[in-house]
A and B are shown apart, each in its own frame.
Chain A
Amino acid sequence: MIPELGQLALALALCLAIAQTLLGIAGAARGQAVWMAATRPVARGQFVFVAIAFLCLTASFVNNDFTVAYVASNSNSALPLHYRIAGVWGGHEGSMLLWVLMLSVWTFGVTLFSRHLPLEMVARVLGVMGLVSLGFLLFILFTSNPFLRVFPSPADGRDLNPLLQDPGMVMHPPMLYMGYVGFSIAFSFAVAALLSGRLDAAWARWSRPWTTAAWCFLTIGIALGSGWAYYELGWGGWWFWDPVENASFMPWLTGTALIHSLAVTEKRGAFRSWTVLLAIVVFALSLLGTFLVRSGVLTSVHAFATDPTRGIFILALLALVIGGSLLLYVWRAPKVGLGGGFEPLSRESMLLANNVIFASAAGSVLLGTLYPLALDASGLGKISVGPPYFETVFVPLMAPALFLMGVGPLARWKKASLPDLASRLRWAAAAAVLAALALPFAMGRWGALVALGLLLAAWVAASGFVQLYEKVRNAASGASAWTRLSSVPRATYGMLLAHFGVAVFVVGVTLVKAYESEKDVRMEPGDTVEVGGYTFRFDGVRDVTGPNYVAGRGHIAVTRNGSFVTTLYPEKRIYRVQNQPMTEAAIDTGLTRDLYVSLGDSVSNTAWVVRVHHKPFVDWIWGGCLLMALGGALAASDRRYRLAARRPREQYAAAAEMT
């Protein structure tokens, strides 16, 4: 009964999506105020029905309803409750439903926080979002229905993939999808602007908080995925340049570019057509990311051939959304205009450089991800592009970006002066050089790449302090320190925090790359091995039993200079249902280093192969990501975006009169 209810709710949501699209787009085109006014309640209704459908699927998982094919293949009665709930998005069908749920959540958000926008704009934005939702609902109902029953139904389910039975993996897909789908708002704003032919500072101001919010979710989502790979795959790596990771990295890179170009469009009216194009590209890459991971095209391009309906539907949807919006862009963008001019040395030119760099980086990831697929699909042979390519490309691309990150925020709009910048940044430069020269020695060994990484990280951080100092100094003189600090807008704090997060991230990447050490050793109980100044003593492996697995648990005592540090318990699990082995690493986390131990194979009755890592500063990588996301959240919540309610409407009216 419950699955049928879910299916019905999904069908009703589809009807409302059609209504939302028609009322929104046609209503705005024909100037029908009643139609336009109806899009808000219709969009809210769609959210309600999608949420009902999602809850129905969740209920089927919680109740262990194995008559539902999707539940049977992604859950098991022995699975703990929280993983049964996570199982909802453990496979293709449920992920698509989660995607649509996220889209309707964002749409609901737009209906709530759009009271200060002109009705026509809201209607168009909701109309475009309705169209995207329509495409996905059709895709779910016709090719990937999660509510299909199976007969005869199995006595028990095939279990959730053991790799996904992990807290990090429970949160990773929802966060990632919130990010992907959140960019649909920037996309819808861009398409709405193209449809109306009006694109001004107000438009950029409306798009900014939404784009930044989506970017925060994506940042967290990617960081969670990377953290999960680090401790769950048992290899100690935190980024593999795997196509699945690249698929989420491309929207992040272009999304970062979009955040910066939106700033220019809002403040100076420049880069308008470029910003619109970026908004389209970011969402296109989000769609591509969803499908690359979910369509099975990555495991084998031939998966498309075995299930052609899904593949063809996906390609058609991509072609329609991307092709349609790009055509619209070509047709309407010339009307948008270029905006104010600027000098070669100005904040605009530096943000332009930022955009060129991030777009090039995204392009290089796209090349490395899609080229092998295209070659394989056309039968021209198999190749792979590994980390060496991406590392070769990213260091020289990102180094100038980091340098500019220290200069850009201090440069004036329109025209900056080099001597002025140099004198304001001299202390930051001195601090950076000092850090690059001294810190590597403190770590034990000086190297050119380490020095470069630390130089840039210190530069970004020190320049951030200069920026804060100047802001506070310029604020109402004579006031107390606290009033001065609180007079700096929240968006500025957000930017400073996010940039500081980048510095932290760079420190983590640089130090772990340069100073990590690892050993694979065969150990008998009582054997010791020394890695990174720590002594690891292997005390044997004992059997333990989990809810749906059995495991050998290793006992490893860690000491340093004779004094006890910790005991680590890495596990080798066998998940019973799928009879799948899994390595569960044990990690002692610290501010300046992680100790990481995983079990390899058992080589005799008592001896095991053990892998031991010492990873200095590795947690700074995720700490940096967290700071970036927090900075973004701070910036997105700036009251300027909410309280500027009257002004944009006036500006908008003025702009409308002009055209």
Chain B
Amino acid sequence: MIAVGLAALSAAAAFVLAAFRENLVFFFTPTQVEAKQVPQGRAFRIGGMVVPGSVKRRADGVTVQLLVTDTAKDVPVVYRGILPDLFKEGKGVVTQGKLGDDGVFYASEVLAKHDENYMPPAAADAIKQAQSINEKATHTLVGGGK
């Protein structure tokens, strides 16, 4: 009786963990996308800032293209659908989707939280990461110049 129960429980646990591993969505920065450090054919998230002036609507009026940047690199994103209320140029954004062979990120979801001052933490992180890399680079340059 107890053995059957434990077997059922461990089967359930194994199944849950397998489903978990299968469906994890990883987060990458535009710099990592540019450097091809991202999975092919699998959905992932990118975050950063919407480049001001980059948001354009295609002729059908529903498909939107835009650039997401971490201040170091830009990634072109295409999304079909209604953008969230707080989506704005120059603000933080996180999108989920797949990277196409053409280097364009085809988003299935665009997230921008419902708060004026809120920057999705993932987006803020991406920018911080890129900036600290830039800083390091500058330091190296300055240091090398001495």
Binding site for B on A (CB under 8 A): 161, 163, 234, 299-302, 344, 349, 352-353, 356-357, 360, 363-364, 367-368, 371, 376, 381-386, 388-389, 392-393, 396-397, 520-522, 578-583, 598, 600-601, 603, 607, 609, 611
Contact = CB atoms under 8 A, between A and B. Distances in A.
26 contacts: A344-B4, A349-B1, A352-B5, A353-B8, A356-B8, A357-B12, A360-B12, A363-B13, A364-B20, A367-B20, A376-B121, A382-B27, A382-B45, A384-B96, A385-B23, A385-B25, A386-B23, A389-B19, A389-B20, A389-B23, A389-B24, A393-B19, A522-B61, A580-B114, A601-B82, A603-B61
B16 A364 contact: yes
A299 B9 CA distance: 33
Contacts, number: 106
A583 B85 contact: yes
Contact of B121 (A302, A360, A607, A609): A302
A383 B27 contact: yes
Contacts of A392: 19, 22-23
A169 to B, nearest CB: 12
Contacts of B118: 299
Contacts of A381: 26-27
A367 B25 contact: no
A611 B1 CA distance: 54
A163 B114 contact: yes
B25 A600 contact: no
B125 interface: yes
Given A356-B9, A384-B27, A389-B19, A299 B113 contact: yes
B133 interface: no
A384 B61 CA distance: 30
A520 B118 CA distance: 27
A124 B105 CA distance: 60
B104 interface: no
A600 B57 CA distance: 13
Contacts of A344: 1, 4
Contacts of A583: 85
B122 A521 contact: no
B52 interface: no
B121 A598 contact: no
A396 B57 CA distance: 42
B62 A522 contact: yes
Interface string B57-75: 1001110000000000000
A384 B28 CA distance: 11
Nearest to B113: A299
A600 B83 contact: yes
Given A381-B27, A382-B27, A383-B27, A521 B62 contact: yes
A506 to B, nearest CB: 20
Top-5 shortest CB links A-B = A522-B61, A600-B82, A389-B23, A382-B27, A392-B19
B103 interface: no
A384 B20 contact: no
A522 B85 CA distance: 17
B19 A607 contact: no
A609 B85 CA distance: 13
Nearest to A349: B1
A436 to B, nearest CB: 24
Contact of B24 (A352, A364, A385, A581): A385
A344 B23 CA distance: 35
Interface in B95-118: 96, 113-116, 118
A52 to B, nearest CB: 33
B81 A581 contact: no
A651 B57 CA distance: 75
A397 B62 contact: no
A471 B143 CA distance: 87
A295 to B, nearest CB: 14
Contacts of B85: 234, 580-583
A197 B114 CA distance: 50
Given A382-B125, A607-B61, A609-B61, A388 B82 contact: no
A544 to B, nearest CB: 18
Contacts of B115: 161
A128 to B, nearest CB: 30
Given A356-B12, A520-B62, A609-B61, A579 B27 contact: no
Contacts of B81: 520, 611
Given A356-B9, A385-B23, A363 B16 contact: yes
B33 interface: no
Contacts of A607: 61
Contact of B57 (A360, A368, A580, A603): A603
A520 B27 contact: no
A239 to B, nearest CB: 15
Given A299-B121, A396-B15, A580-B86, A388 B113 contact: no
B94 to A, nearest CB: 9
A17 B60 CA distance: 64
Contacts of A360: 9, 12-13, 16
A357 B8 CA distance: 9
A376 B45 CA distance: 15
A371 B20 CA distance: 10
Nearest to A599: B82
Contact of B116 (A382, A580, A600): A580
